Amino acid sequence: MKTHYSFFLLISFCLTSCEQSGQNQQNTKRLAADSTYIVSDSSVFKLQSSDPLVNVINIYSDSINNASKSGSLPLFLNDAQLDYNNAAFSILHHPAPLRKMIFDKVTNCESLKMIITLKDSIYQIHPKRETGIDVKYLEYSMWDLAMKRYKELKCN
């Protein structure tokens, strides 16, 4: 029950923290100076699924896709333990590989390049196994996932 409550709090936070396209210029400049927000365009709200996990993945991937426009990367990329801290459990009671699922939806090469070219080692921290629970793709850091997706998209 605690996991579901935390997950819905995360969704509520994401939905209230998102910047929708069409907001006035002054508000956009103010938000661009704050690296803790998630940037989303309004299309993510039109495509909302009844599955909360799909909605979170869409919002997070959208925030990475829009990072090149805002000039700042979303703060959740600093959380190597994202899969555990925002666990969504499957039928088999294993956390979903949220980080990988997010990067699989990223399509903006410029935003991926922002992650890859940063000299900040925080994106190169590998997640650590918690409480004996395995999550797929633990061998990949956020940087590794960005690089993998960059290559899949054949970005230059």
**Residues 66-112: pLDDT tens digits?**
999 999 999 999 999 999 888 766 545 677 899 999 999 999 999 99
- Mean per-residue pLDDT for 47-59? 83
Region 16-41: mean pLDDT is 41
Three-state SS across 49-81? CCCHHHHHHHHHHHHHHCHHHHCCCCHHHHCCC
**Mean pLDDT for the chain overall:** 77
pLDDT of residue 67: 97
**Parent domain of 52:** 2-152
pLDDT score of 44 more than 90: no
Kindly indicate the confidence band of residue 65, based on its pLDDT and cuts at 50, 70 and 90: very high
- Contact (CB, 8 A) for 106 and 114: no
Q: If you ran DSSP here, which 8-state letter would residue 121 be given?
A: G
Q: How many domains does the chain have?
A: 1
Short-list 60, 54, 11, 13, CA closest to 39: 60
Going by the DSSP 8-state scheme, the letter that residue 37 receives in this structure is S
